[in-house]
Amino acid sequence: MSSMISISGLSKAYASGFKALKGIDLDIKRGEIFALLGPNGAGKTTLISIICGITNPSAGQVLVDGRDIRRDYRATRAMIGLVPQELHTDAFETVWATVSFSRGLFGKPRNPAYIEKVLKDLSLWDKKDNKIVTLSGGMKRRVMIAKALSHEPQVLFLDEPTAGVDVELRKAMWDVVRALRASGVTIILTTHYIEEAEEMADRVGVINKGEIILVEKKAALMQKLGKKRLKLHLQSRIDIVPATLAAYNLELAADGGELIYTYDTRSEHTGITSLLGDLRAAGIRFSDLDTTQSSLEEIFVSLVRT
Amino acid sequence: MNFGAVQAIYKFEMARTWRTLLQSIVSPVVSTSLYFVVFGAAIGSRITEVEGISYGTFIVPGLIMLSVLTQSITNASFGIYFPKFIGTIYEILSAPVSYFEIVLGYVGAAATKSIILGLIILATAGLFVPLHIHHPIWMLTFLLLTSVTFSLFGFIIGIWADGFEKLQMIPMLIITPLTFLGGSFYSINMLPQTWQTLALFNPVVYLISGFRWSFYEIADVSVSVSIGMTVGFLAACMLVVSWIFRSGYRLKN
């Protein structure tokens, strides 16, 4: 598969001296859904802003479909649709007017039938004559997506598209994104939601402190995502883990008040049953327990730290 | 050339004008009418003719310029400042449009509003005082040049401003005084000699003088100087705008 977006040596230093991006090299394949993950301030939005022409890079090159984003900005920008993270809308415009405006701005001839389709796909059709100010946050988010799709882009950037959006709407958005991918659109999304990356992405890239630290196929990542933690709140504190439990690699936490067991949900034997049996044999009683799945972000943060 | 984009921006801005009709058109017309009532009818009747023209008639070109200057700046600066303020500027910056097309859309719309406004005020003035325009083509040329130039100037202010206070500052503190002192309500010749010399440093003097000449063939300075100064200011604004876009000043970080 050829590259849709090819980034090499991309750097961005702000006037304050802050280096938001440090020599990014990244290839996005044609037609894939690429999830870009990273903690706040990692450089996700800066990277997207540069590709879309909102921020000037300090150094490096970005090619979209083989064309340079600066020299050939008309061609590259015409191919790109952007849904920014923040809800920036013209409050007093109607949904129909604002989406039509976007299409015009990107130099496409009027096509009411297409706009109608976009609005219907996003369940906005019955709101088309409403002023944006009257819409809920989730609706506004959909308006932003409709604007980005108004000019039939071949590349779509979704910067935290489902932040602050309820579960139902999130699922509806995923359907729209899947349909777009099926029609050949390349999609780059940033997200905090583990399900989102899991559901949607073909590949996942992790950015931290302005550097791409990992790009992997989703399947490879799921291995790392399979880990769960079982936390046992002990009735009485212990100083050391008894030797009989050594095989479980338990961690002591909260000054000996908690035991933590990490296990793989995908393996045949999680070891939980035998652990609980061995705990009783060792005379360790617990008052409560809970399990947590490590989030994608936690995994990456720990990845970055090591 | 992305004409679709120019048209989209232009239509968007004009739609804003009709939506805010009261603020964009009605309020300047009302305030100008008040000037006519106060200076034209009430006080003007006690003032002798200025250069052979009744005072009420004399102030018409100055009053039109006063509104056109301030409204060009206000409309154009607000037009580009607001998307910056609410964040919708992202779409303009990420669209396949050249800087020239962006300016054409915003400044074109602001200048259109100003010209419409100028003509409405002219018509309003016609209700109060008898009007005769000697050089209608030159009158329209001056109106067009001034509207475009000061809309460009407003565009620059809108990009420079990083708060509503700054947005108001230049029109309030610089343009309004310059216009009042630029001969809207009097001929520069009526001033003492020192003030006459000082007035020549006020660019608005040249605009009003040229504009008034197109009405009554009377002018404080020669018409070619008026045109030269206006075109010069237009060129200066264009240079600044092109620098803004090349450098990304206050638009792209």
Q: How far apart are CA A159 and CA B2, in angstroms?
A: 27
Sign of CA dihedral B78, A48, B242, B251: positive
> What's the pLDDT score for residue A243?
83
Nearest CA in chain A to B9: A105
**Token representation of residue B39:** 């200076």
> What's the pLDDT score for residue B46?
83
∠ Cα A207 A208 A212 (to 5°): 40
Span A92-123, pLDDT tens digits: 899 999 999 999 999 999 999 999 999 998 88
| Three-state secondary structure of A185-239 | CEEEEECCCHHHHHHHCCEEEEEECCEEEEEEEHHHHHHHHCEEEEEEEECCCCC
Sign of CA dihedral B170, B171, B172, B178: positive
A168 and A242 in a single domain? The answer is no
Closest CA to A35 of A169, A165, A215: A215
A213 and A176 in a single domain? The answer is yes
pLDDT band for position A298 (cuts 50, 70, 90) = low
The mean pLDDT value of chain A amounts to 88
Nearest CA in chain B to A46: B253
> What's the pLDDT score for residue B9?
95
CB–CB of B90 and A102 under 8 A? Answer: no
The length of chain A in residues reads 306
A232 and A102 in a single domain? The answer is no
Domain that includes residue A84, residue range:
30-55+69-223
> What's the pLDDT score for residue A294?
64
Q: How far apart are CA A275 and CA A292, in angstroms?
A: 17
A117 and A139 in a single domain? The answer is yes
Rounded to an integer, the average pLDDT of B80-84 is 93
Looking at the structure of chain A, the number of domains it has is 2
The answer to whether residues A201 and A268 touch, using CB atoms and an 8 Å cutoff, is: no
| H/E run at residue A148 | helix A137-149
A93 and A155 in a single domain? The answer is yes
Closest CA to A33 of A160, A171, A181: A181
Q: B8 at the A interface (CB within 8 A)?
A: yes
- Write the DSSP symbol of residue B36: I
pLDDT band for position B29 (cuts 50, 70, 90) = confident
| The most confident of A67-81, A292-306, B182-196, by mean pLDDT | A67-81
Tell me whether residue A92 is in a domain: yes
Tell me whether residue A62 is in a domain: no
A85 and A133 in a single domain? The answer is yes
| H/E run at residue A111 | none
| H/E run at residue A37 | strand A33-37
Give the contacts of A43 (CB within 8 A, at least 6 positions apart).
A12, A20, A21, A24, A207, A209, A210, A211
- Dmax over Cα atoms in chain B, in whole Å? 60
pLDDT band for position A305 (cuts 50, 70, 90) = low
Q: Helix or strand or coil: residue A242?
A: coil
pLDDT band for position B129 (cuts 50, 70, 90) = confident
Tell me whether residue A289 is in a domain: yes
Residue B21 is which amino acid?
L
CB–CB of B96 and A88 under 8 A? Answer: no
Higher pLDDT, A3 or A191: A3
A162 and A253 in a single domain? The answer is no
Give the contacts of A248 (CB within 8 A, at least 6 positions apart).
A261, A271, A275, A278
Closest CA to A8 of A83, A21, A52: A21
User: Looking up tokens 């999304």, which residue turns up?
Assistant: A189
Domain that includes residue B150, residue range:
3-247
First and final C-alpha spacing in chain B = 26
CB–CB of B253 and A14 under 8 A? Answer: yes
> What's the pLDDT score for residue A48?
96
* Residue ending a domain, choose from A177, A203, A223: A223
> What's the pLDDT score for residue A194?
66
Q: How far apart are CA A144 and CA B86, in angstroms?
A: 14
Span A232-291, pLDDT tens digits: 898 888 888 888 888 888 888 888 889 899 888 777 788 888 888 888 888 888 899 998
The answer to whether residues B186 and B218 touch, using CB atoms and an 8 Å cutoff, is: no
Q: Environment class of residue B59 by beta-carbon count within 10 Å: exposed (0-12), middle (13-18) or buried (19+)?
A: buried
Span A223-240, pLDDT tens digits: 666 678 889 898 888 888
Q: Environment class of residue B111 by beta-carbon count within 10 Å: exposed (0-12), middle (13-18) or buried (19+)?
A: buried
DSSP one-letter string for B56-98: HHHTHHHHHHHHHHHHHHHHHHHHHHHHHHHSTHHHHHHSS--
Strand duo A155-159 + A186-190: pairing: parallel
Q: Environment class of residue B116 by beta-carbon count within 10 Å: exposed (0-12), middle (13-18) or buried (19+)?
A: middle
Tell me whether residue A288 is in a domain: yes
Residues of B in contact with A101 (CB under 8 A): 8, 11-12
Tell me whether residue B114 is in a domain: yes
> What's the pLDDT score for residue B245?
86
Nearest CB neighbour to B91, from listed A86, A105, A109: A105
The mean pLDDT value of chain B amounts to 90
Tell me whether residue B253 is in a domain: no
Q: Helix or strand or coil: residue A14?
A: coil
- Write the DSSP symbol of residue B49: P
A234 and A217 in a single domain? The answer is no
Looking at the structure of chain B, the number of domains it has is 1
> What's the pLDDT score for residue A226?
66
* Residue ending a domain, choose from A223, A255, A277: A223
> What's the pLDDT score for residue B237?
94
Tell me whether residue A158 is in a domain: yes
Task: Give the rounded distance of the alpha carbon of A186 from its chain centre.
Answer: 15
Residues of A in contact with B11 (CB under 8 A): 101, 104
> What's the pLDDT score for residue A151?
96
Range with the poorest average pLDDT among A38-52, A222-236, B121-135, B149-163? A222-236
Higher pLDDT, B7 or A220: B7
- Write the DSSP symbol of residue A248: G
pLDDT band for position A296 (cuts 50, 70, 90) = low
Say if residue A306's pLDDT is above 80.
Answer: no
Tell me whether residue A90 is in a domain: yes
Task: Give the rounded distance of the alpha carbon of A161 from its chain centre.
Answer: 8
Say if residue A301's pLDDT is above 60.
Answer: yes
Please report, for the domain that includes residue A162, its CATH number: 3.40.50.300
Say if residue A297's pLDDT is above 70.
Answer: no
A230 phi/psi in degrees, rounded to 5: -105, 125
Q: How far apart are CA B79 and CA A236, in angstroms?
A: 68
Neighbours of B229 (CB within 10 A): 18
Rounded to an integer, the average pLDDT of A55-79 is 95
> What's the pLDDT score for residue A221?
72
Tell me whether residue A2 is in a domain: no
A231 and A290 in a single domain? The answer is yes
Tell me whether residue A171 is in a domain: yes
> What's the pLDDT score for residue A295?
62
Tell me whether residue B252 is in a domain: no
Q: B141 at the A interface (CB within 8 A)?
A: no
Nearest CA in chain B to A78: B96
A199 and A78 in a single domain? The answer is yes
pLDDT band for position A165 (cuts 50, 70, 90) = confident
* Residue ending a domain, choose from A223, A252, A279: A223
Q: How far apart are CA A137 and CA A161, in angstroms?
A: 12
> What's the pLDDT score for residue A272?
87
A293 and A261 in a single domain? The answer is yes
CB–CB of B94 and A82 under 8 A? Answer: yes
CB–CB of A105 and B253 under 8 A? Answer: no
A214 and A299 in a single domain? The answer is no
Strand duo A3-13 + A59-64: pairing: antiparallel
> What's the pLDDT score for residue B35?
85
Span A189-221, pLDDT tens digits: 987 676 777 778 999 898 888 999 889 887 777
Please report, for the domain that includes residue A280, its CATH number: 3.30.70
The answer to whether residues B205 and B220 touch, using CB atoms and an 8 Å cutoff, is: yes
Q: How far apart are CA A175 and CA B206, in angstroms?
A: 63
Q: B207 at the A interface (CB within 8 A)?
A: no
**Token representation of residue B88:** 């919708």
